[in-house]
Amino acid sequence: MLKTMFRRPSRPSRPSRSPAARPGGTLAPAPKALPRPRPAVIDAPAVIDGPAVLPALPVQPPPVLPAPEPRPAPAPGVSGVTVPPASPMRLGVIDIGSNTVHLLVVDAHVGGQPMPAASVKVPVRLVSLLDGDGTLSAEGERVLTDCILNLSREASALGVDDLVAFATSALRDAPNGDAVIERVRATSGIPLAVLPGEDEARMTFLAVRRWFGWSAGRLLALDIGGGSLEIAAGMHEDPEVVASLPLGASRLTRDWLAGDPPKRSEVTALRRYVRAQIAPVVSSLYVVGEPTRTVATSKTFRSLARIAGAAPYSRGPYVRRVLSRESLREITPRLCKLPAAERIDLPGVSADRADQLAAGAIVADEAMDLLGVDELEICPWALREGVILRRLDLLTSA
């Protein structure tokens, strides 16, 4: 059979004629494409008791990233074909989070997997430099500016071709966040923007989709950061449902868990608050349908999975790591009873995140319960990789 399929024909075959070219031939009209649904954006109300009311779903504009520099025109060739660069581009991104400021440098090219070249983390802990009303203090702005300047010099020394920076919830929610961003941008000369919560969810979802590919089917992605919880779901690279909730591990520890370890009453009150925040999102996910795969990203979920017995990160990104709801139900009460100094002794727990791990576990536990997730898989790519992937798309299409 295979020999027959690949046997060279004895003479050239005649080209076939389309129905339109044959006498009396007609072409059937092409079916109309069904419109893709617009992403639903959920901004859950901050309530503690009573049912939460789902607000109207406004249409959000696509994520806004700094425009890339124009690239030279491709060499003469086939019309409409862009010739990819012969060598990888070195891209850098600075992520200004609630806990750390992180420079990630990758080598990337069209159609290839971005390969990490360098990673520099600075534990700035912006959340601890906020005043009582959430305003970033003068000391916090000075620390942040110095950090950005140092990382910019580091990126230059590493030969980064394109560098962007973005800030998440700590500056996004600060009353003086926009003014701080303007001053830091003017001082450093780096394209710096505040990433809205919904776009944060979209970028994280893009990274998850590219990592697992289309065979993952319908994805549900969860990300617990220092200031917010992001939820995104859908079949495509752009999720159909996104939500950004004020349920970051650092924020909740500061606002709800005063004790070390926290009191039982504090834990109970926090659980009630977390459930009230997540509940409105659950109904919106019915529109998308049951996920084929549920995925979690970032440090909090990685630490929880490691405590539950997942392979250490030193084993590399291609080892499958999962976190089950059953394991999480056993871990969360233990974490709430341990002081931060003793949590450091647990596998996968760093000293700078130990104090907020109990709050992160509560959010993960309640999210998996309300969303009906029995097991989630840890994705090594997250927000920073999503921003780099989108940046690469813009640069190669410019």
Q: Kindly list the distances between the CA atom of residue 3 and the CA atoms of 6, 14, 306, in Å, as whole numbers in the listed order.
A: 5, 22, 52
Tokens of 212: 């697992």
Residue ending a domain, choose from 195, 220, 248 = 195
Tokens of 265: 């009453």
- Assess whether 231 and 349 both reside in one domain: yes
Digit-coded pLDDT (tens) for 173-229: 999 999 999 999 999 999 899 999 999 999 999 999 999 999 999 999 999 999 999
- Assess whether 273 and 370 both reside in one domain: yes
The number of distinct structural domains making up the chain is 2
Residue 160, domain CATH: 3.30.420.40
Which domain, by its residues, includes 101?
A: 89-195
What are residue 361's DSSP bridge partners?
A: none
- Assess whether 332 and 290 both reside in one domain: yes
Residue 303, domain CATH: 3.30.420.150
Tell me the average pLDDT across 86-101. Answer: 88
Is residue 261 one of the residues assigned to a domain? yes
pLDDT score of 6: 36
Q: Is residue 56 pLDDT above 50, yes or no?
A: no
Residue with tokens 């070195």: 90
- Assess whether 183 and 271 both reside in one domain: no
Length of the chain: 398
- Assess whether 222 and 303 both reside in one domain: yes
Low-confidence winner among 73-82, 149-158, 209-218, 253-262 (lowest mean pLDDT): 73-82
Q: How confident is the model at residue 16 (pLDDT cuts 50, 70, 90)?
A: very low
pLDDT score of 128: 86
- Assess whether 218 and 266 both reside in one domain: yes
Digit-coded pLDDT (tens) for 326-375: 999 999 999 999 999 999 999 999 998 999 999 999 999 999 999 999 99
- pTM of the predicted protein model: 0.79
- Assess whether 184 and 217 both reside in one domain: no
- Assess whether 160 and 95 both reside in one domain: yes
- Assess whether 228 and 352 both reside in one domain: yes
pLDDT score of 48: 37
Digit-coded pLDDT (tens) for 266-307: 999 999 999 999 999 999 998 889 999 999 999 999 999 999
Is residue 52 one of the residues assigned to a domain? no
pLDDT score of 395: 84
Is residue 284 one of the residues assigned to a domain? yes
Q: Is 116 exposed, middle or buried (0-12, 13-18, 19+ CB in 10 A)?
A: exposed
* Closest among 75, 175, 179, 77 to 133, alpha carbons compared: 175
Q: Is residue 43 pLDDT above 80, yes or no?
A: no
Residue ending a domain, choose from 195, 230, 249 = 195
